Amino acid sequence: MSEGTSRLSGFHKLTPAERAERLARLAGLGPEAAAHYAAAAGDQLALADRLVENAVSTLNVPLGIATNLLIDGREILVPMATEESSVIAAVGNAAKRCRASGGFTTATSGNEMIAQIQQLGMPDPAQVRLKVLERRSDIKAVCDAADPVLLELGGGFRDLEIRVLETAEGPMVITHLIVDTRDAMGANAVNTMAEAVAPRLAEWTGARTHLRILSNLADRRLVRARAVWPLDEIGGAGVRDGILSAYRFAEADPYRAATHNKGIMNGVTAVVLATGNDTRAVEAGAHAYAARDGRYRSLSRWETDADGNLAGALEMPLAVGLVGGATRLHPTAQQNLQVLGVETAAGLARIIGAVGLAQNFAALRALATTGIQKGHMALHAQNVALLAGALGEEVDALAAALVQAGEVRQDVAERLLRELRARKG
Ligand code: NAD
């Protein structure tokens, strides 16, 4: 901001267009900045204003389609929203290479989410724990009354789990409400239940309740995906062994595992976003699950099958929904769900699991063979060409020249663009 204060009284009461104008003025950007915000949002401005506070526009992320996926015997086209080059191509390529062996096989462990209720400041945590357990049927009744729609759909309270935590301020009793949230991601659903149950717990046990919130470590909502890549599809036993060594590196080293899992999330997050689901919730769950035994590890497992082919498996929490949040409100998310042809949250999770595994295969194969930069650079070169100011046909020509020069950098791009234009006259 060029001048003034960030204390903008009444900003939230303005329309998005008025906010954009005020913002442009405050930032010293001129009227074209407000026009840019309006044009970028197109017909999504009213929706943006409903979804978030102080909306001025939308940030459009490219939406592409991953092809070749054969998942549980079904041919699936997968919309992916990502700004990162190579991600969508990598999924399509990995999926093509495992079609001969049947594509991906997937499953889920269920639709159960966990809400946590914290109780603290008690001298007798073991007693409090038992008093909560004795109220199981009362707790079920409170939870189910909080969401009759979910109950009607066959969801609702499933179980209770009580843990006593030793903490820096003494013992705490943590009650887990385990709730089947069916086709909803379920954060609001279980948070509402936790807030309804908490005062009753205080009443029944005499112990003070504090936080009431879901856990994003959705380890009762796991997706599992597996596939086999035949040796002749991956470039032979040497490539297989190279992939296995890369995987073992990730298993042994959290520095490597973080990047290995980031590759999986390149695929996962892109489909989560394309369907209007909560990317942060899925990412938090994935990384917490990767560290569940006390050390951060790979979310996938790689091995050789009885025929010597490369077998991969991915297991991770995946709390996604078809209702609730932005999914139902966003027309593009709705359309993407139609393209996917899914009718349940579990069906969506299964596709996302397959995409995560495909992405992991592609990254491992690239790393174990030519290195990640070769494929990346061809697409990255296009971005660098655009940044250097290339227009129309110049973009491809400049990108090719950058790759050929082996130096995909903006300063080189600017120089080559000047030379290209000089040659053209
Ligand atoms: P929601 O409350 O909007 O929708 C869920 C409700 O829809 C259910 O409670 C049920 O009453 C109803 N429903 C209708 N048809 C259903 C069906 N077929 N299956 C299940 N329920 C059906 O949304 P939600 O899924 O409870 O919460 C998701 C939202 O919460 C996301 O926007 C997320 O970003 C947000 N959130 C996340 C966190 C977190 O992850 N830590 C915390 C708070 C909020």
Distance between CA 275 and CA 338 in Å, rounded? Answer: 10
pLDDT greater than 60 at residue 2: no
Which positions ≥6 away from 115 have C-beta within 8 Å?
176, 177, 179, 190, 191, 193, 194, 212, 213, 214, 215
Find the 195 Cα to ligand 1 centroid distance in Å. Answer: 15
Find the 189 Cα to ligand 1 centroid distance in Å. Answer: 5
Find the 140 Cα to ligand 1 centroid distance in Å. Answer: 19
Domain with CATH 3.30.70.420 in the chain: 112-215
Nearest CA to ligand 1 atom 32: 325
What is the chain's mean pLDDT, rounded? 95
Within 13 Å of residue 97, how many CA atoms lie on the same side as its CB?
A: 25
Nearest CA to ligand 1 atom 19: 183
Confidence of residue 374 (pLDDT cuts 50, 70, 90): low
Candidates 191, 323, 327, 330: which one to mutate for ligand 1, based on the most atoms within 8 Å of Cβ?
Answer: 323
Nearest CA to ligand 1 atom 31: 325
Q: Name the residues annotated as catalytic.
A: 84, 262, 278, 376
Protein residues with CB under 6 Å of any ligand 1 atom: 147, 149-150, 153, 155, 181-189, 191, 214, 216, 278, 281, 321, 323-325
Which positions ≥6 away from 413 have C-beta within 8 Å?
384, 385, 387, 388, 390, 398, 402
Sequence-ordered strand ranges (E) for 168-290: 170-180, 208-215, 222-229
Pick the CATH number of 112-215 from 3.40.50.2300, 3.40.50.1000, 3.40.50.1820, 3.30.70.420: 3.30.70.420
Q: Is the pTM of this model over 0.75?
A: yes
b/e for 170-198, b at 16 or more Cβ within 10 A? ebbbbbbbbbbbbbbbbbebbbbbbebbb
Domain with CATH 3.90.770.10 in the chain: 63-109+222-369
What value does the mean pLDDT take over residues 262-267?
98
Distance between CA 94 and CA 78 in Å, rounded? Answer: 13
Query: pLDDT tens digit string along 384-400?
Result: 999 999 999 999 999 99
Candidates 185, 192, 216: which one to mutate for ligand 1, based on the most atoms within 8 Å of Cβ?
Answer: 185
The tokens of 254 are what?
Answer: 């959290």
pLDDT of residue 22: 95
pLDDT greater than 90 at residue 65: yes
Of ligand 1's listed atoms, the one at least distance from the Cα of 190 is 26
pLDDT greater than 90 at residue 31: no
pLDDT greater than 60 at residue 105: yes
Distance between CA 58 and CA 152 in Å, rounded? Answer: 36
Under CATH, what is the fold of the domain 374-424?
Helicase, Ruva Protein; domain 3 (1.10.8)
Bridge partners, residue 63, by sequence: 81
Nearest CA to ligand 1 atom 34: 278
Q: Just give the CATH number of 63-109+222-369.
A: 3.90.770.10
The tokens of 76 are what?
Answer: 């699936």
Domain with CATH 1.10.8 in the chain: 374-424
The tokens of 413 are what?
Answer: 């791009």
The helix (run of H) or strand (run of E) holding residue 63 is strand 63-71
The tokens of 415 are what?
Answer: 């120089």
Sequence-ordered strand ranges (E) for 131-281: 156-167, 170-180, 208-215, 222-229
What value does the mean pLDDT take over residues 348-368?
97
Nearest CA to ligand 1 atom 43: 187
Which whole-number Å values give the CA distances from 202 to 30, 207, 212, in the listed order? 57, 5, 12
